[in-house]
Amino acid sequence: MASENVYVEHCKGVNGLDKVILREIRGCSAEVYLDGGQVTSWKNEFREQLLFLSSKATFKPPNAIRGGIQICFPQFGTIGSLEQHGFARNRLWSVDRDPPPFPANTSHRAFVDLILRHSEEEVKIWPHRYECRLRVALGPGGDLMLTSRIRNTNTDGKSFTFTFAYHTYFSVTDISEVRVEGLETLDYLDNLKNRERFTEQGDALTFESEVSVDKVYLSTPTKIAILDHERKRTFVLRKDGLPDAVVWNPWDKKAKAMADFGDDEYKHMLCVTAACVEKPIILKPGEEWKGRLEISAVPSSYCSGQLDPRRIFRSN
């Protein structure tokens, strides 16, 4: 039991809220709040923060925490009848004492299993019963892995439809020095232009136009890279069951309009969100959907301005 406590610690966080700290021997760590089932911190072995958390974030349930990784279910964005990004990020999750079996992996000792089930109050606004399970794991090398399993537990024979996203806020040095690779030439829906469909131009996505960005990229590859040129760091996203990717930065005007977001903090964050948005998932009673996100932070390797694929897109 003592050895397990090295890897997983249940404790109190901001405002006395329950949280779980995951640690690995090399010094990597992650923090998960039960409110929202939300990862709020991910640090490498040098104790450098890799996720963005606003200095004005409020830890006051049921408000979502601004930053980290928000679980968006059963709705992402405002397309639908529910509040923006659904209710999962506003609910209190429980530690799952009896999770379903995962593929055997003895190297992952720093993990926690959470579960969210329907409430009778919630059924009034979304008339379905479900189980939403989340495993957050920290690999020995510092990789952060999130696996979600959603099951339809309706007893009335009805299917339900939902969208889902891991709304991830990455910490970057300077947004104007960041590029995203893996989305070039893809179609996207521009949320700032009534979801009109466009095709991405250019070799990589950059952020120098000084306007807010809110795009849903469709049929994206399983691997996407975010290059922080100034810090010489690259985030690599690997995803399964999540065909879309949402790229968002509010820029200055929208940043100033958000009470829980610093006026200039847009310069130091970028959301690249693994999602299933364009084609909602349909589950019949008893059926289960699974989605997975793995993110790693590696030193950037440039060759004529391009990534060295042997280093960044190495096989697992």
Report pLDDT digits (tens) over 230-248. Answer: 999 999 999 999 999 999 9
Report pLDDT digits (tens) over 112-146. Answer: 999 999 998 888 999 999 999 999 999 989 999 99
271 assigned to some structural domain: yes
23 assigned to some structural domain: yes
CA quadruple 123, 126, 128, 132: dihedral positive or negative?
negative
pLDDT exceeds 50 at position 1: no
Give the pLDDT score at 202. 80
Give the pLDDT score at 209. 81
Distance CA 185, CA 219 (A): 11
Q: CA neighbours within 13 Å on the CB side: how many for 306?
A: 7
pLDDT exceeds 90 at position 13: yes
Give the pLDDT score at 304. 32
pLDDT band at residue 99 under the 50/70/90 scheme: confident
pLDDT exceeds 60 at position 4: no
Report pLDDT digits (tens) over 137-188. Answer: 999 899 999 999 999 999 999 999 999 999 999 999 999 999 999 999 999 9
Report pLDDT digits (tens) over 29-82. Answer: 999 999 999 999 999 999 999 999 999 999 999 999 999 999 999 999 888 888
Give the pLDDT score at 285. 98
315 assigned to some structural domain: no
Those residues whose C-beta lies under 8 Å from the C-beta of residue 9, and which sit 6 or more positions away, are 20, 21, 23
Tell me the pLDDT of the chain averaged across its residues: 91
Annotated binding site for substrate: 66, 84, 89
Instruction: Over range 85-89, report the average pLDDT.
Output: 94
Q: Is 272 in contact with 244 (CB distance < 8 Å)?
A: no
Give the pLDDT score at 105. 58
Residue 84's domain spans which residues?
Answer: 8-299
Give the pLDDT score at 121. 85
pLDDT band at residue 306 under the 50/70/90 scheme: very low
2 assigned to some structural domain: no
Give the pLDDT score at 79. 83
Over the chain, what HEC string results? Answer: CHHHHHHEEEEECHHHCEEEEEECCCCCEEEEECECCEEEEEECCCCCECECECCCCCCCCCCCCCECEEEEECCCCCCCCCCCCECHHHCECEECCCCCCCCCCCCCCEEEEEEEECCHHHHCCCCCCEEEEEEEEECCCCCEEEEEEEEECCCCCCCEEEEEEEEEEEECCCHHHEEEECCCCCEEEEHHHCCEEEECCCCCEECCCCCCEEEEECCCCCEEEEEECCCCEEEEEEEECCCEEEEEECHHHHHHHCCCCCCCHHHHEEEEEEEEEEEEEEECCCCEEEEEEEEEEEECCEECCEECHHHHCCCC
Q: Which residues pair with 35 in a beta bridge?
A: 92
Give the pLDDT score at 106. 55
pLDDT exceeds 60 at position 303: no
CATH code (residue 196) = 2.70.98.10
266 assigned to some structural domain: yes
304 assigned to some structural domain: no
CB atoms within 10 A of CB 22: 24
Q: How many residues does the chain have?
A: 316
pLDDT band at residue 107 under the 50/70/90 scheme: low
pLDDT band at residue 104 under the 50/70/90 scheme: low
Report pLDDT digits (tens) over 261-299. Answer: 999 999 999 999 999 999 999 999 999 999 999 999 999
Annotated binding site: 66, 84, 89
Number of domains in the chain: 1
Give the pLDDT score at 307. 47
Q: Which residues pair with 275 in a beta bridge?
A: 165, 244
Report pLDDT digits (tens) over 181-229. Answer: 999 999 999 999 999 999 999 888 999 888 899 999 999 999 999 999 9
